[in-house]
Amino acid sequence: MSNKETKASFKSGFISIIGRPNVGKSTFLNRVIGQKIAIMSDKPQTTRNKVQGVLTTSESQMIFIDTPGIHKPKHKLGDFMMKIAQNTLKEVDIILFMVNVEEGIGKGDQFIIEKLKGVKTPVFLILNKIDQIHPDELLPIIKQYNELFPFAATVPISALEGNNVEHLLQLIQDNLPEGPQFYPADQITDHPERFIVSELIREKVLHLTREEIPHSIAVVIDKMEKKGDKNLIDVLATIIVERDSQKGIVIGKQGSMLKEVGKRSRVDIENLLGTKVYLELWVKVQKDWRNRASNLRDYGFNDDEY
């Protein structure tokens, strides 16, 4: 095959991953990209911004968009998250509707299916967590979903174990249009390093805290710069909470919680940046920030972009 023919048959496109909170969208994205770019937690609504992951092969470039889990908003931040999730449906070539096979079809799934009925984009049903059920249970679940919507394809996978993920990627590639390479071959995300670093810190707080804390925090990177000629990057970050009581919990007794967040975050940040990191964390109270448009903009939730 000549170079001209090879170039002409190159495929590219955008793929949106949607679904209820906590069905494994970020786990799938990290599995596909081969590196952590989307944070993971068992807490619902972990993903707040559109996270783009880029997978480039010799034949195609797939740009995956991990959207916030679709849910009923309770504050301005929730409205922002839903606007992102719903807007991406109009911008992509393929939609992956991911569900958790361990759970039955819930109101959240039905809500999303109703939203999909107005979309012309091909929708693939992705049944995640098949490693958690007996194979005999799968067919009735597939039948149930396909009675509700005419999916272009149905693919059972385990994002955690990697089962059937390669088959899904091949299917996506087969259904993408011919197109250009949008990003350099070695680029895996369109987000700046600062954004991913802030998300890695937020992930550690999600893992280590409970109750109202996970939903009430934001992380702002105040400084990120190389330390002279040394193989060291200085990172200064502020963890934003909504109440004084939350600040006390995040700091912990004699700073123990904040120290643990820093220790765990530094490991992931060093893996991401490929260098030693000096990480300094502060905690600041910003009352009711999730309902204040100015705070949402300051913390990276920019409504104008969507």
For the packed helices 256-273 and 193-208, what is the interaxial angle rounded to 10 degrees?
Answer: 140
Question: Please, what's the b/e burial string for 265-290 (b: 16 or more CB within 10 A of its CB; e: otherwise)?
Answer: bbebbeebbeeebebebebeebeebb
Looking at residue 203, the DSSP 8-state letter turns out to be: H
pLDDT tens-digit profile of 88-144? Answer: 677 789 999 999 999 888 888 998 898 888 888 999 999 999 999 998 999 999 999
> What per-residue confidence (pLDDT) applies to 204?
86
The domain locations on the chain are: 3-175, 193-305
CATH number for region 193-305: 3.30.300.20
> What per-residue confidence (pLDDT) applies to 22?
78
CATH number for region 3-175: 3.40.50.300
Instruction: Name the helix (H) or strand (E) containing 271.
Output: helix 256-273
Distance CA 296, CA 223 (A): 19
User: 3-175 and 193-305 share one CATH topology?
Assistant: no
> What per-residue confidence (pLDDT) applies to 74?
53
**Residues ≥6 apart with Cβ < 8 Å to 207:** 41, 264
> What per-residue confidence (pLDDT) applies to 43?
45
> What per-residue confidence (pLDDT) applies to 8?
54
**Residue segments in the chain with a per-residue pLDDT below the cut of 70:** 1-8, 37-51, 68-88, 191, 211-215, 291-306
> What per-residue confidence (pLDDT) applies to 275?
84
CA distances to 34, 217, 242, 250 from 204, in Å? 20, 11, 18, 11
Does the pTM of the predicted model rise above 0.85? no
